Structure 1
């Protein structure tokens, strides 16, 4: 229910002092995660935003759930973390763009691309979302370090997300936590009715 300072943009709705927390673990190359992200954006997020039904009651945290059996999963998540650094106000917008373009990062479409080529492709997508003067900073954050196995500038942020998921026993996406406990009843197939009933039962007005 907390975030290290560099990951504050992962709170995509609500107020930091809200008494309830909804964590959503999503993978950018998971079709079910994409479905839930769209629902969260259109049906759930507005309820926690200023003027919403549960404004001040719930904060919504997006937890990046890297699934290594998808070869490009790590690279897409690194890109999102880079956007969180250089243009935090556009983190959620870029995340939605990744979900909309996720089929371009599936295993077969990326099988003939090198990691550097995939990162360049991600930079082109980021350039459609973030300010033009931030694109080079974005690319710099995804440039490999001088150490042969040192990762990139956002590797530590990536590790934080992975470690957080591991210590909470999160294995698949999407997975949701309500106030720190896994809410197995939440499904990517939920619509307005299911979400409204869930929140009504969980939140004391």
Structure 2
């Protein structure tokens, strides 16, 4: 088997020994709330003490979830790596209506094509990904995120895992202090 010609930059910020993993669905408003707090949390908890890891949890009731998950991972293969992926995630959450169906089934996005969604992501985030979107074996990265979530019993987003254990009592609406209190 030949090595791929691309590398997905891991969605990891900080370099501390403690692991704060967050499983996010790319268009879920609750995941968006959690993402918006991660960088402040990292500063509070100290990037030398904790590593924040984002895991993507695609959910089929969010109709463009698979497409958008792929777009985030594609962004991570660009020269800006995880920072490009971060810009894509932030743009999607900030403009959710542009990427999501009303009530998970209706609205103007029913007429949108995958190429239109990709153009919207590029326009909103400033990350061009149309060429990289066609990476043939990018599926392995997507499948890794899915498999990892399933192996850990993750079914909803956001879900938090601290040092390898699910923190079922944590949510995106909790304070940063509550998140930090879960660390050793």
Fold-level match, TM-score > 0.5?
yes
- Does 2:119 align with 1:120? yes
- Does 2:89 align with 1:95? yes
* Cα distance in structure 1, aligned partners of 2:62 and 2:88: 20
Which has the larger share of helix?
1
- Rg (Cα) greater in structure: 1
Task: Give 2:73's aligned residue.
Answer: 81
Task: Give 2:55's aligned residue.
Answer: 63
Any stretches of 5+ residues in structure 2 without a counterpart? 1-5, 102-106
Deviations 1:13-67 (A, max 9, x none): 211xx321010001111010111111223x302235xxxxx33211110001100
Which SS does the other structure have where 2:131 is aligned?
A: helix
* Cα distance in structure 2, aligned partners of 1:6 and 1:170: 25
- Does 2:144 align with 1:160? yes
Which SS does the other structure have where 1:139 is aligned?
A: coil
Of 170, 183, 196, the residue aligned with 2:167 is: 183
C-alpha root-mean-square deviation of aligned residues, in Å?
Answer: 2.1
Of 129, 132, 135, the residue aligned with 1:141 is: 132
* Cα distance in structure 1, aligned partners of 2:158 and 2:69: 15
Over 6 Å off, 4+ runs: none
The 3 A distance-change label for structure 1 pair 189 and 117 is same
